[in-house]
Amino acid sequence: MSNKSEVIATENLIKTKKRSQGADVWRRLKKSPTAMIGLGIIILFLFMAVFAPMIADYDDEAIKMNIKERLQPPSSTHVFGTDEFGRDIFARIVWGTRISLFVGLISVSIALSIGGFLGAIAGYYGGRLDNAIMRVLDVLLAIPTILLAITIVAALGASVLNLMIAVGVSNIPGFARVVRAAVLSVKDEEFIEAARAIGANDFIIITRHVLPNSMAPIIVFATLKVASSIMGISSLSFIGLGVQPPTPEWGGMLASGRAYIRDYMYIVMFPGLAIVFAVLSLNLIGDGLRDALDPKLK
């Protein structure tokens, strides 16, 4: 009888007591003002990306040329002014957010899944496999990221999809290295051996024990890489290899606006600021996460 009531009591406890480690990280992250500023900015961008259709009409304001209203300075109708084709710069930045964040996230996901997989098996199995994988990636790493991306886009042709592939592939070696290092630091822990002793196979050990315990550096690296991917996308678009006009993209806006920089500097200033804030906020979050995820700072 008393035994049964204890079982019920413990079942209740499951719901109340299970304080996840995510909550711990969040508690520590909240203490960093810079990370919170970064988080605020990025939430604003995300909001713009999700609700873009309600903020500005894509066809009407961001795409359609309107020569009558070209090169207007910021005003109440056009908060950020209009560009050389009379398009509303604010609307284009809002829609550009979608492209930048989406391409940034997807390309990092590509790099994370392929690089992460290669890094995990290289780190876990070690030996010759490790050598083979890492040496091939070292060759890739020797080529500057942006140059590699340019080469890939040049070979595949300029499109949003190819842009994602290019930025993603060029980030693979970096992710492989980070994941490999994280796996190496975990794989010799005794709980891995304990898992083997209870009959777990390699797949279970890697997915249930090794990877969850190496997440911290990977999350930090991924956050920082989204930022640098946004830079990469803008750079490629700036030199004409990325998103093609008239699709609104921050780097592309900079490129087309730079002819007017002397007289109408707001045309390049606002997309420039958008890039700066997006990259800065992600870097601030990344640094904050690095501290929050470090259990030694508890």
Partner 1 sequence: MSEVILQVKNLKKYFDTPRGKLHAVDDINFSIEKGKTLGLVGESGCGKSTTGRVILRLLEATEGEVFYEGVNINELDYEGMRKLRKEMQIIFQDPFSSLDPRMTVSEIIEEPIKLNKIITDPKERFERVLELMDLVGLSRRLMNTYPHELDGGRRQRIGIARALALNTKFIVCDEPVSALDVSIQAQILNLLKELQRKLGLTYIFITHDLSVVNHFSDDIAVMYLGKLIEKAPAERLFTNPIHPYTKALLSAIPRPTLDKKVEKIILKGEITSPINPENNCRFSDRCNHAQDICRASEPPLEEVFPGHFVACHLFKE
For partner 1, the binding residues (CB under 8 A) are: 6-7, 9-10, 13-14, 17-18, 21, 189-191, 193-200, 204, 209, 212-213, 295
Question: Which residue number, 37 or 204, has a Cβ lying nearer to partner 1?
Answer: 204
CB of 115 to partner 1, least distance (A): 22
Distance from the Cα of residue 262 to its chain's centroid: 33
Residue with Cβ nearer partner 1 (6 or 138): 6
Picking from 270, 268, 274, 244, the residue whose alpha carbon sits closest to that of residue 255 is 268
Q: Hey, CA dihedral for 224, 113, 137, 233, is it positive or negative?
A: negative
> Which residue, 66 or 185, is less far from partner 1 as judged by CB?
185
Q: How far is the CB of 19 from partner 1 (least distance, A)?
A: 8
DSSP string for 143-160: S-HHHHHHHHHHHH-SSH
How far is Cα 206 from Cα 219, in angstroms, rounded to an integer? 17
State how far the Cα of 246 lies from the Cα of 58, in Å rounded to an integer: 11
Phi, psi of 272 (to 5 degrees): -60, -45
Of the pair 138, 189, the CB lying nearest partner 1 is at 189
**Closest CB to partner 1 among 53 and 295?**
295
Report d(CA 250, CA 277) in Å as an integer: 12
Residue with tokens 């406890």: 13
CB of residue 21 to partner 1, shortest distance in Å: 7
Q: What are phi and psi of 269, to 5 degrees?
A: -65, -45
Nearer to partner 1 (CB atom), residue 262 or residue 298: 298
- 157 vs 199, beta carbon nearer partner 1: 199
In the complex, minimum distance from the CB of residue 131 to partner 1, in angstroms, rounded to a whole number: 16
Kindly state the smallest distance separating residue 285's Cβ from partner 1, in Å.
22
Tokens of 223: 């956050």
- The Cα 230–Cα 108 span in angstroms is 10
Distance CA 290, CA 298 (A): 13
* Exposure b/e, 123-142, CB count within 10 A at least 16 = b: bbeeeeebeebbeebeebbe
Nearer to partner 1, 55 or 216 (CB): 216
CB 118 within 8 A of CB 176: yes
Cα 205 from Cα 192, distance rounded (Å): 7
Work out how close the CB of 204 gets to partner 1 at its nearest, in angstroms, rounded to a whole number. 7
Q: How far is the CB of 16 from partner 1 (least distance, A)?
A: 9
Query: Which one, of 140, 142, 132, lies nearest residue 166 by Cα?
Result: 140
Write down the least CB distance from residue 292 to partner 1, Å.
16
